[in-house]
Amino acid sequence: MEKSRLRVIIWNEFKRGNTAAETFRIINENEGKNVVSYSTVTRWFAKFRVDDEKLEDKPRAGRPSNLDKDALRRKIEDDPHITIRELEELLNCGKSTIGDHLKAMGMVKKLDKWVPHNLTDLQKAKRRCASEKLLQRCKNEEFLDRIVNIDEKWISFNNTRRSTSWCKHGEAPKHVPKPELHEKKLMVTVWWCSSGVIQYDFMKPGQSITADTYCAQIDKLRHNLPTMVRRRGPIILQDNARPHAAKKTVAKFRELGYELSDVSDDAEKTNIQSRRSLSSFWSSHLKPIMSNPAMRRIAITNMIMFVLIVQLLATLVALIIIAIAFHYEEVRNNEVALPCVYTWSQWTACSATCRSPGKPFPTKERQVNKTNVVRARGQLHDISPCPKDVARLKEQAPCNIAYCPIPISTFNFSQKSYNSKAYGGDIKIRLLPQANQMIFMDDIPYKKAQ
């Protein structure tokens, strides 16, 4: 935030009667954490109390800083590996000034961390899918306390570490012997969960973990699990080391009913294993065969025969399909060309009991009896040939020409009145249509005139 805007906010809070502590809390809640320090707020409050309400900095000795903080922040975000010397040339500012501003921004220089390899697109997609599943599972159930982690660590007996030491200027540094290439060491296996370490096991010096020892540790883990984890069942989080992914280990977890986390081999590692398997198959099976001339001729002959047989089978299947298609086409043509006799079924009920004004007549339909279709052989008099799809032939006819009855209540009364002694004096009657129309008597056809 710019200094001028920050000072205006402090001055407004001072005018409202708030204290320095309240102003410090309000600014950090509304504008962001660590926007202003408490000492800065108290210093400006002390200045305002002596009727000094000027918000500009007082003149001071030295050259004013003309570094654009936003530009510095953008340079750092665009290229995190940029050096201070490069920033000097780009921003035209001194090294110490840039260092002070970077320190004020909370920026420190850290060495990049080594990773085994860059992730491929497939690996990124798999990790994203696994992360989305875990996030969705967190919404449905609390399972983080059930996770049990396992990892191994080699511990060297002589843990020599090279570090810096204090010495006088010009004096040679202390000497530290290099660690041996094959030192005496042992492996420790640690199992832990969110509540702490569950168990740990030391292997014999120089001995690494195997599937058998790993299964023995799993049996030991079953009795050492915390009560909450044992009741709900643990979720084992492990890497894809060979003892962890062995068939015996997987069978042991299934026997105990433990859930394994969704950790799979990377795609590149799978490809390497596939290439190794293919190389092993070639060297152990195919290479001895192809190195023998007689076996090579037999293999080539068998390959040619196999290709010819496949081609013959494909040709035979194609001919069968063509023959079936010709047969169906001939049958269809015969059905159309030959004369035929068929009967109709009974008429169905009308689609409606009456006709609405302005709409088409209701219809009824009938269809051909499939069991009564007779295809005559030869030419018969007064018999037409079978139409296409005779079994699905339908016929429609109109029915019920009468209009649907109209309620008498929908008709208006006449403007004139009529005298009728039978109905007790002057009355008005409803105006009915002149056409032939059925009337539904849902109301009286007259009313007394006013």
In a domain, 174, yes or no: no
**Are both 127 and 212 inside the same structural domain?**
yes
In a domain, 401, yes or no: yes
Strands across the sheet containing 259-260 = 196-202, 185-193, 147-156, 235-237, 259-260
**Burial 394-429, CB ≥16 within 10 A → b, else e:** eeeeebbeeeeebeeeebeeeeebeeeeeeeeebbb
Q: Please give the pLDDT value at position 321.
A: 94
Residue 145 placed within a domain: yes
Q: What is the pLDDT of residue 262?
A: 66
**In terms of domains, do 194 and 131 share one?**
yes
**Residue where a domain stops, chosen among 191, 226, 260:** 260
Q: Are 239 and 135 found together in one domain?
A: yes
Question: Are residues 17 and 106 both part of a single domain?
Answer: no
Any domain includes 341:
no
Residues 6+ apart with CB under 8 A from 278: none
pLDDT along the chain (450 residues), means of 10: 80 86 86 81 85 69 67 88 88 85 85 82 89 87 86 78 74 78 82 89 86 91 82 86 89 88 48 43 52 75 91 94 87 58 83 78 84 56 61 81 78 82 80 74 77
Q: What is the pLDDT of residue 267?
A: 34
Handedness of CA 396, 399, 405, 410 (dihedral sign): positive
Residue 198 forms part of a structural domain: yes
pLDDT of residue 276: 46
The structure tokens listed for 1 are 């935030």
Cβ partners under 8 Å of residue 146, min gap 6 = 193, 229, 232, 233, 234, 235
Between CA 156 and CA 232 the distance in angstroms is: 38
Residue 376 backbone dihedrals phi, psi, to 5 degrees: -75, 150
Identify whether 45 is part of a domain. Answer: yes
Q: How far apart are CA 306 and CA 299, in angstroms?
A: 10
Domain boundary among 260, 286, 301: 260
245 and 131 belong to one structural domain = yes
142 and 191, same domain (yes or no): yes
Q: Which of 234, 260, 286 is the last residue of a domain?
A: 260
- The residue type found at 412 is N
Confirm whether 246 is domain-assigned: yes
Are residue 152 and residue 223 in the same domain, yes or no?
A: yes
pTM of the full predicted structure? 0.37
Residue whose C-alpha is closest to residue 67's, from 58, 54, 76, 59: 76
Residues 21 and 136 in one domain: no
130 and 193 inside one domain: yes
pLDDT at residue 369 in the model? 80
The DSSP secondary-structure symbol of 235 reads E
Q: Are residues 103 and 198 in the same domain?
A: no
Cα dihedral 325, 328, 330, 333, rounded to 10, equals -130
Residue 241, domain extent: 122-158+183-260
CATH number at residue 41: 1.10.10.1450
Single-letter code of the amino acid located at 368: V
Q: What percent of the chain has pLDDT over 70?
A: 81
Residues 131 and 250 in one domain: yes
- The pLDDT assigned to 264 comes to 43
Residue 396 bridge partners (DSSP): 365
Do 92 and 21 fall into the same domain? no
* pLDDT tens readout for residues 243-301: 888 899 999 988 888 888 765 444 334 334 434 444 444 445 555 555 667 777 887 88
Number of domains in the chain: 4
Question: Does 93 reside within a domain?
Answer: yes
Q: What is the CATH number of the domain that holds 248?
A: 3.30.420.10
Q: Which residues pair with 385 in a beta bridge?
A: 339
Q: In angstroms, rounded to a whole number, what is the distance separating the alpha carbons of residues 277 and 269?
A: 12
**Residue 287, Ramachandran bin (φ over 0: left; ψ between -120 and 50: alpha; else beta):** alpha
Contact 379, 339 (CB under 8 A): yes
- C-alpha–C-alpha distance, residues 193 and 225, integer Å: 9
Look at residue 272 in the predicted model and tell me its pLDDT: 40
**Token pair for 400:** 């019920």
Q: Which two tokens stand for residue 88?
A: 């000097």
Q: How far is CA 19 from CA 13, 52, 437, in A?
A: 8, 17, 91
